[in-house]
Amino acid sequence: MLTGLGGARRLDTEAATAEALREAALALVDDPEVARRLTRVRAETAGEGGTRRAADLIEAELPARRRWSARTREEGPSVPL
């Protein structure tokens, strides 16, 4: 997904040396077009409710026994960990 948005580079596992990873990361950081694209993605995500909204949508799809209620998320688990 991030590759399609222009915010990541794909490296084959065999090619993922430390130097290749470093070069790919530096190329992303130095590319002003990547910064523009990611700024746009950030604004769109925030406009759609951000990560909290994303978590709510994901949790709505989980089976009921695996969902945490809003109270549990805000107050923490009710059993000691």
Could you read off the pLDDT of 37-61 as tens digits, one per residue?
989 988 988 888 888 898 999 999 8
Residues with Cβ within 8 Å of 49's Cβ and at least 6 positions away in sequence, in order, are 56
> What integer pLDDT is reported at residue 78 of this predicted model?
57
Q: Which is higher by pLDDT, 13 or 2?
A: 13
What pTM was computed for the model? 0.53
- In the chain, % of residues over pLDDT 70: 78
Average pLDDT over every residue of 5-23: 90
pLDDT at 63: 78
**Between residues 53 and 66, the one the model is more confident about:** 53
